Chain A
Amino acid sequence: EPEVTQTPSHQVTQMGQEVILRCVPISNHLYFYWYRQILGQKVEFLVSFYNNEISEKSEIFDDQFSVERPDGSNFTLKIRSTKLEDSAMYFCASRLLAGGHEQFFGPGTRLTVL
């Protein structure tokens, strides 16, 4: 069964460093998402991406964040200068354009900022 994959599973970085989180969405999906979950809190929407551009973003997704689909399979989230409060689990999701509104989630990347 097709699934969304994410790498790495755990990333540790120093405050102020840049990180790139990688996702491979399901191959025929056209909408891509990033969510995050700070420990003990709810899952929060960051950004959605369709047709090579951002279609929606939340207040959390400020200038420190960017997304890219560098090739036909990967979808990345870059944090330019990490802060302690960026420590969280980051989930990638994808969905078909049509045929229902289910988003398929990856297993997540746990980001720890020291």
Chain B
Amino acid sequence: AQSVTQLGSHVSVSEGALVLLRCNYSSSVPPYLFWYVQYPNQGLQLLLKYTSAATLVKGINGFEAEFKKSETSFHLTKPSAHMSDAAEYFCAVSLNQAGTALIFGKGTTLSVSS
């Protein structure tokens, strides 16, 4: 069975600082991995995805993530935080098959201070 662990339910950074949100996964088969962002009172928006191509994945809004099989990790980073990055971030895994459900982590709330 697959699972996702997000370390840190709340991360606080200053504007301009590095953002690092951690995600570790467990999967018995090669997974597809995703990061979604949720702004207040909105749905989930895809930031980026890993689908077995390049291990370093670039997404929207300057975010990127690196798939590390040896560490079973898919951490999300952004070199310089912006106030508008404040939101909840979810890491998710699915099997490498069509139509399969997403299994989400518990989410990390990112706060950005000026």
Residue from B41, B90, B101, B104 whose CB has the most chain A CB atoms within 10 Å: B101
Q: Quick check: B49 and A33 within 8 Å, CB to CB?
A: no
Tell me how many residues of B have a C-beta within 8 Å of chain A. 24
B92: chain A residues at CB < 8 Å are: 43
Our pick among B36, B49, B90 for the contact of A101 (Cβ within 8 Å) is B49
Contact residues, B24-54 vs A (CB, 8 A):
32, 34, 36, 41-46, 49, 51
List residues of chain B with CB within 8 A of the CB of A44: 104
CB–CB B51/A101 < 8 A? yes
* Cβ B106 vs Cβ A41 within 8 A: yes
Partner-binding segment picked from A48-56, A63-71, A74-82: A48-56
Which residues from A are CB-within-8-Å of B99? 31, 48, 50, 55-56, 95, 97
In the complex, A102 Cα to B98 Cα: how many Å? 10
**Chain A positions within 8 Å of B34 at CB level:** 102
Residues B32 and A4 in contact, CB atoms below 8 Å apart: no
Q: Is the CB of A101 within 8 A of B32?
A: yes
Given known A-B contacts A45-B101, A101-B32, A91 and B44 have beta carbons under 8 A apart: yes
B101 and A48 contact, CB distance less than 8 A: yes
Count: A-B pairs, CB below 8 Å: 62
Query: Is B114 at the interface (CB under 8 A from chain A)?
Result: no
Q: Which of the four size classes fits the interface of chain A? A: 20 to 34
CA distance A97 to B100 in the complex (A): 11
**Cα of A48 to Cα of B107 in the assembled complex, Å:** 22
Whether A100 sits at the interface, judged by CB under 8 Å, is yes
Instruction: Verify A42–B41 contact, CB threshold 8 A.
Output: no
B44 touches A42 (CB 8 A): no
Given contacts A41-B106, A43-B90, A101-B51, contact A56 B100 (CB under 8 A): yes
Given A42-B105, A97-B99, A101-B94, 20 further pairs, Cβ under 8 A:
A33-B102, A35-B102, A42-B90, A42-B106, A42-B107, A43-B92, A43-B107, A45-B103, A48-B101, A56-B101, A91-B43, A95-B99, A98-B98, A100-B51, A101-B51, A102-B46, A105-B36, A105-B45, A107-B41, A108-B43
A58 on the B face (CB < 8 A): yes
